[in-house]
Amino acid sequence: MSSNTGVIPGTIVSDANFSSITFSAQGVPVLGNPDLSTVTLDATAGSAPTLPATLKVEITQINLTGFPSGTLNVSDHSDPLIGIITSVNQSTYLDPSNTAFGTGAGTLLDSNTPVLFPDAHSANYAVGPGLTTFSETQIYTVVFGGANASYGGAMDLKSVPSAVPEPATFAVLGTGLLGLYLTRSRRRA
């Protein structure tokens, strides 16, 4: 499923192991800096799944622009809503070659495997130059350990603005430079 509007809502039923899988994904052009993409996923195992039932959902966005270098924040939330969720992994990949579902070597930005639930995870990563146009792929791998178990998760990718000094910082810096200038001027006289 793809979209050029920046929004992908979807409902999928993949096989007899799951009674419902719903997701939504937003990105460019609906979202812009600092929000690059956001994805939510809700899934429920069927009443008689073959256990363990593994669900893997990959969502990708291409043609992300406007981030030549700096800091990216990846955050995710994972919650087994009902029943037994055996394990979860949420991973985010960046691909400077702008390839859909690009998960090749060197593109993994973040991977989180919660041990306790619910789980909230956030991490910042310095990203070097070369990301003028790139793709981002988010992968959920959820293992259901019981019938009717339900899972909810979300992942976000944001650029982190560089710190801008407060006006008071400029005032202190200016006062210090003025003092240094006056001290040097007096010594020369």
Of 5 and 36, more confident: 36
- Kindly state the average pLDDT of the residues 40-61: 92
Say whether pLDDT at 20 is over 50. Answer: yes
| Residue 76, CB-side half-sphere exposure with 13 Å CA sphere | 24
Distances, alpha carbon 25 to alpha carbons 2, 132, 155, 163, in Å: 10, 22, 10, 29
Tens of pLDDT along 154-179? Answer: 999 998 987 655 555 545 445 554 55
Per-residue confidence (pLDDT) for residue 93, from 0 to 100: 94
Say if residues 82 and 41 touch (Cβ distance below 8 Å): no
Q: Residue 179: exposed, middle, or buried by beta-carbon count in 10 A (0-12, 13-18, 19+)?
A: exposed
Of 86 and 132, more confident: 86
Per-residue confidence (pLDDT) for residue 166, from 0 to 100: 52
Query: Domains in the chain, please, with CATH?
Result: 7-164 (2.60.120)
Per-residue confidence (pLDDT) for residue 163, from 0 to 100: 60
Tens of pLDDT along 90-137? Answer: 999 999 888 889 888 778 999 999 988 899 999 999 988 878 888 899
Q: What is the pTM of this model?
A: 0.80
Give the dihedral of Cα atoms 170, 173, 177, 183; nearest 10 deg: 130
d(C-alpha 133, C-alpha 67), whole Å: 8
